[in-house]
Amino acid sequence: MAPDFSLLPSRIPIQNPANPAFTTDYSPLHGETPAAVLFPQSHQDCIDIMRWANLTNTPISVRGAGTGTTGGALCAPHAVLVSMQNMTRIVEIDPQNSTITAEPGVILTNIHTMANQYGLFYPPDPASLNRCTIGGNVAENAGGPRALKYGVTRDYVIGLQGVWANGEPFHYGGKVKKNVAGYDLIGLLVGSEGTLAIITQITLKLIPKPRHQREALATFDSPEHALSALTTVLQHGIQPSTAEFMVDTCIHAALHYLNTPPQFKVQRAAIIWQVDGPSEDAVTAQLSLINHLSKALDFIPMTTPDMINHVWGIRRAISLGLNQLAGQKHSEDIAVPLAKVPIVIEALEALSHPGGIQVLGYGHLGDGNIHVNILKMSASTNDWHTHAPTIIKQVMELAISNGGTITGEHGVGRTKKSFMPLQFSPHDLHLMQSIKRQVDPNGILNTDCMFPK
């Protein structure tokens, strides 16, 4: 049955029928075509939409820029999609309080730029930073390479305005940076993947912008030696801002994709080190200590723009390079305790199937967040469809059996919900769903996300 739009305030723009572009995101899923797409322009619009949805029993899904990789921005069956793309105001930057307040549709990079103009810094930097929205970042609790030193989105959200699924508006926190009154409802909302509420305004804590930064590439003959370098560095009082990890296969795939020769000798494993700080001397001293402690095969300071672009170009091209190499691929983002990274990297490669499917991991070494790639390569289409789902499940089991998680930063969404029972007991899942029911008694909001049937 079609939703009754006559009860919705006419000021809210509506696209009906929906543009088919809204059926995809960066996940491999192809979603339902929404019954319609609504484009709220204000907090009040979102309240009215949720009240209307409860009144008319219309399922709602919420979408930012659609850059998520787990299907969270897609549409539930028969649902109306709420696109936040018209709520793009930076409401205020407040340098005296070191805060920025924005609507959810603001592109992340605009937050970075605005903060930077005031000598301030918003660290989270997921790879999609030029396209993803801050609302999507809050919904998914986005991370990025700098999470190693600076933490993830949750560590910066100090104020949230929005509307619970039942239509009740809220405004928690604000510009106050320390706050322990009651249960942490802000913390509950961040990372809740749009299942509890629509966020209409976000206040972020900003920190001083480190004035200086230096980088180096270090190569190792094994993942173990790379890990050992990192733990040694950490125990010597150095907190790198980034320690990105790549194995040779990933580097070669990226070089092939970029059609460029390496400007360094490719070895089994590599770390891109980044240090930052308030003075040139401080960061230089740190990098030279990292060099001393790393015991790397080669340690190449990235001092020219050319070298920086070369190395980061390789890191950023890994996903595209593997895609080109593989024909088709699945990407997962498990995380494990740091010390388990080397054995998990090896165990992932051992999951490679004789049919030709290849499995490998790279990612954010410092926090144990491994981006796993399952590559079709020479496998037949039949083998791919038969074996890939099994391998994905094995990857998840590998994460859990090593004390890790099924998702480090991409979220559960629709692609991973069947794996939630690997990580949580029936009691835990029931508890989470009972929290959802408290704010969404009619089961309106993103009901097919996060939880298994």
**Residue 421 makes contact with a copy of itself by CB under 8 A:** no
Q: What are phi and psi of 96, to 5 degrees?
A: -70, -35
Is residue 342 within 8 Å of residue 224, measured between CB atoms? Answer: yes
Is residue 155 within 8 Å of residue 190, measured between CB atoms? Answer: no
- Going by their DSSP bridges, the two strands 80-83 and 60-63 should be labelled as parallel
DSSP SS3 for 416:
coil
Q: How far is the CB of 328 from a copy of itself (least distance, A)?
A: 25
Q: How far is the CB of 69 from a copy of itself (least distance, A)?
A: 12
Q: Which of 9, 5, 26, 175 is nearest to 92 (CA)?
A: 175
The position carrying tokens 């200590």 is: 289
**Residue 39 makes contact with a copy of itself by CB under 8 A:** no
**Residue 46 makes contact with a copy of itself by CB under 8 A:** no
Choice between 4 and 281, CB closer to a copy of itself? 281
**Residue 368 makes contact with a copy of itself by CB under 8 A:** yes
Cβ within 8 Å of residue 366, ≥6 positions away:
147, 148, 230, 240, 242, 243, 338
Please pick, from the candidates 214, 353, 387, 410, the single residue that binds a copy of itself as defined by CB under 8 A: 410
Site residues for a copy of itself, 120-149, by CB under 8 A, read 120, 140-141, 143, 147
| Measured distance CA(451)–CA(453) in Å, rounded | 6
Query: What single-letter DSSP state applies at residue 177?
Result: S
Question: 356 — alpha (psi -120 to 50), left (phi > 0) or beta?
Answer: left
Q: Within its chain, how far is the Cα of 340 from the centroid?
A: 21
- Going by their DSSP bridges, the two strands 80-83 and 37-38 should be labelled as parallel
Please pick, from the candidates 61, 99, 446, 447, the single residue that binds a copy of itself as defined by CB under 8 A: 99
**Residue 117 makes contact with a copy of itself by CB under 8 A:** no
Choice between 186 and 375, CB closer to a copy of itself? 186
Is residue 125 within 8 Å of residue 146, measured between CB atoms? Answer: yes
**Residue 114 makes contact with a copy of itself by CB under 8 A:** no
**Residue 152 makes contact with a copy of itself by CB under 8 A:** yes
Q: How far is the CB of 247 from a copy of itself (least distance, A)?
A: 20
Site residues for a copy of itself, 248-287, by CB under 8 A, read 277-279, 281-282, 285-286
Q: Which of 393, 424, 398 is nearest to 340 (CA)?
A: 398
Site residues for a copy of itself, 207-236, by CB under 8 A, read 207-211, 231, 233-236
DSSP SS3 for 128:
coil
**Residue 439 makes contact with a copy of itself by CB under 8 A:** yes
Q: Residues binding a copy of itself: what is the number (CB under 8 A)?
A: 94
Site residues for a copy of itself, 191-210, by CB under 8 A, read 191-192, 207-210
**Given the rule CB under 8 A, which of 43-51, 293-301, 384-392, 412-420 is the region that contacts a copy of itself?**
412-420
**Residue 237 makes contact with a copy of itself by CB under 8 A:** yes
The neighbour count for residue 208, using CB atoms within 10 Å, is: 10
Please pick, from the candidates 15, 24, 39, 184, the single residue that binds a copy of itself as defined by CB under 8 A: 184
Q: Within its chain, how far is the Cα of 287 from the centroid?
A: 28
Q: Within its chain, how far is the Cα of 401 from the centroid?
A: 23
**Given the rule CB under 8 A, which of 85-93, 174-182, 246-254, 349-357 is the region that contacts a copy of itself?**
174-182
**Residue 339 makes contact with a copy of itself by CB under 8 A:** yes
Choice between 307 and 429, CB closer to a copy of itself? 429
**Given the rule CB under 8 A, which of 42-50, 117-125, 217-225, 263-271 is the region that contacts a copy of itself?**
117-125
Q: How far is the CB of 20 from a copy of itself (least distance, A)?
A: 29
The position carrying tokens 């790198």 is: 240
Please pick, from the candidates 11, 30, 78, 177, the single residue that binds a copy of itself as defined by CB under 8 A: 177
